[in-house]
Amino acid sequence: MASQNNLYKIQGRRTLDGETEERVFLFRDFSAKVFMKRLRQRFPDWKFDGEPQLAEPTPPQTEPSRIDTL
C-alpha cells in the first residue's frame, strides 16, 4: 500500500495528427491499481509505460514543462 508521503509517477504518450505528445503523470495517496484505472478512464487515447514508479525529488526546472496531477 502506498504511503501518504510517497509521490509516484508514470510516463504517458499519445500520437495525434502525426505528432507524439509525452507527459509525466504524478499521483499521491492512491494504490497503483486505482491510479491506473483513473488514468485510463480520464485519458483513453494515451498509452502508459510499465507500472508507476516512485518519483524522485527533482531540482527546479529552468523551462516550464507539462505535469498533470490527479
One digit per residue, pLDDT tens: the chain, 70 residues?
444 567 888 899 999 888 999 998 888 766 778 888 888 899 899 898 888 887 776 555 555 566 666 5
Residue 59 belongs to some domain of the structure:
yes
Residue 42 belongs to some domain of the structure:
yes
Residue 2 belongs to some domain of the structure:
no
3-state helix, strand, coil in the chain (%, to 5): 15, 40, 45
What is the domain range of residue 34?
A: 7-69
Q: For the beta carbon of residue 1, count every other beta carbon within 10 angstroms.
A: 5
Residue 40 belongs to some domain of the structure:
yes
Q: How many domains does the chain have?
A: 1
Residue 1 belongs to some domain of the structure:
no
Residue 23 belongs to some domain of the structure:
yes
Residue 18 DSSP class? T
Whole-model pTM: value is 0.57
Residue 41 belongs to some domain of the structure:
yes
